């Protein structure tokens, strides 16, 4: 039986995906949503109330998670509406045509929570769902986790920190510390270990 490990998703990590749903009229919608891998067969979403994605999930009780790296799909589904040309129907839903893999998920629970962070106070909805079916379209699958990109950016900053003026160096260090917070929030054990090595290296300097 296929599970999330077959497409490179690890327990406890958060991945950047495109979730596709449909409304009551059968029109598809796509939105970039972070998906946390709870275990090999369950995922968790944190959604804002009032979004098309949440309304569609609430109405249908299911959705599709697309694993892909196409930057334009992420941009267009964030700043506008993804063209219908991007979608392809699958059973009772839709997936993104050029996705590397996708899986259907069935909602098992929905819980409202209040969040208070640096962005401000907001109401979030925690959606737990079970993985129903995994379809692999491309053998080269790499779920996007922001931690690896934060590590790479931190390495770029750290390689330049000794050749810039003090003000710029201070800004670089601030950026690295922000990247470190991100890594420790969404990354896995190896990501955190790598980030700590960067911070240790900077302290030596």
Instruction: Evaluate if residue 146 carries a pLDDT over 90.
Output: yes
- 165 and 97 part of one domain: no
Distance CA 106, CA 126 (A): 14
- 114 and 185 part of one domain: no
- 125 and 187 part of one domain: no
Whole-structure pTM value? 0.88
pLDDT value for 117: 64
Q: Single out the residue in 78, 112, 136 at which a domain terminates.
A: 136
Domain that holds residue 177: 146-204
Interstrand relation of 28-39 and 42-48 (parallel, antiparallel or unpaired): antiparallel
- 22 and 58 part of one domain: yes
Q: Single out the residue in 90, 116, 136 at which a domain terminates.
A: 136
Q: How many CA atoms lie within 13 A of 19 on its CB side?
A: 27
- 45 and 103 part of one domain: yes
- 10-28 pLDDT, tens digit per residue, is 999 999 999 999 999 999 9
- 126 and 25 part of one domain: yes
Q: Which H or E run contains 34? A: strand 28-39
Instruction: Evaluate if residue 121 carries a pLDDT over 80.
Output: no
Instruction: Evaluate if residue 119 carries a pLDDT over 60.
Output: no
pLDDT value for 49: 82
User: Residue 182 maps to which CATH number?
Assistant: 1.20.58
Over residues 60-70, mean pLDDT: 96
- 65 and 124 part of one domain: yes
Question: Is 141 domain-assigned?
Answer: no
The DSSP result for 42-67, as a single string, is EEEEEEETT-HHHHHHHHHSEEEEEE
Q: Which among 67, 75, 14, 11 has a CA at the least distance from the CA of 41?
A: 11
Binned at pLDDT 50, 70 and 90, residue 173 comes out as very high
User: Residue 75 maps to which CATH number?
Assistant: 2.30.110.10
When the pLDDT of each residue in the chain is averaged and rounded to a whole number, the result is 92
Residues written for the chain: 205
Binned at pLDDT 50, 70 and 90, residue 118 comes out as low
Question: Is 29 domain-assigned?
Answer: yes
pLDDT value for 140: 86
Count the domains in the chain.
2
Share of the chain above pLDDT 90, in %: 83
């Amino acid at each position: 039986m296929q599970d999330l490990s077959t497409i490179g998703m690890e327990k406890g990590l958060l991945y950047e995906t495109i979730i596709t749903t449909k409304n009551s009229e059968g029109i598809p919608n796509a939105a970039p949503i972070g998906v946390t891998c709870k275990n090999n067969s369950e995922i968790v979403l944190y959604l804002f109330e009032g979004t098309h994605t949440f309304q569609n999930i609430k109405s249908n009780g299911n959705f599709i998670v697309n694993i892909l790296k196409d930057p334009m799909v992420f941009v267009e589904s964030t700043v506008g509406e993804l063209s219908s040309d991007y979608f392809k129907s699958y059973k009772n839903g839709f997936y993104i045509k050029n996705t590397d893999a996708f899986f259907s998920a069935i909602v098992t629970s929905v819980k409202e929570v209040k969040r208070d962070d640096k962005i401000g106070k907001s109401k979030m909805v925690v959606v737990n769902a079970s993985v129903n079916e995994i379809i692999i379209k491309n053998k080269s699958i790499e779920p996007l986790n922001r931690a690896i990109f934060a590590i790479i950016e931190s390495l770029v900053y750290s390689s330049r920190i000794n050749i810039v003026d003090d003000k710029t160096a201070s800004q670089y260090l601030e950026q690295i510390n922000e990247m470190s917070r991100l890594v420790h929030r969404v990354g896995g054990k190896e990501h955190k270990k790598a980030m700590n090595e960067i911070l240790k290296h900077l302290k030596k300097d």
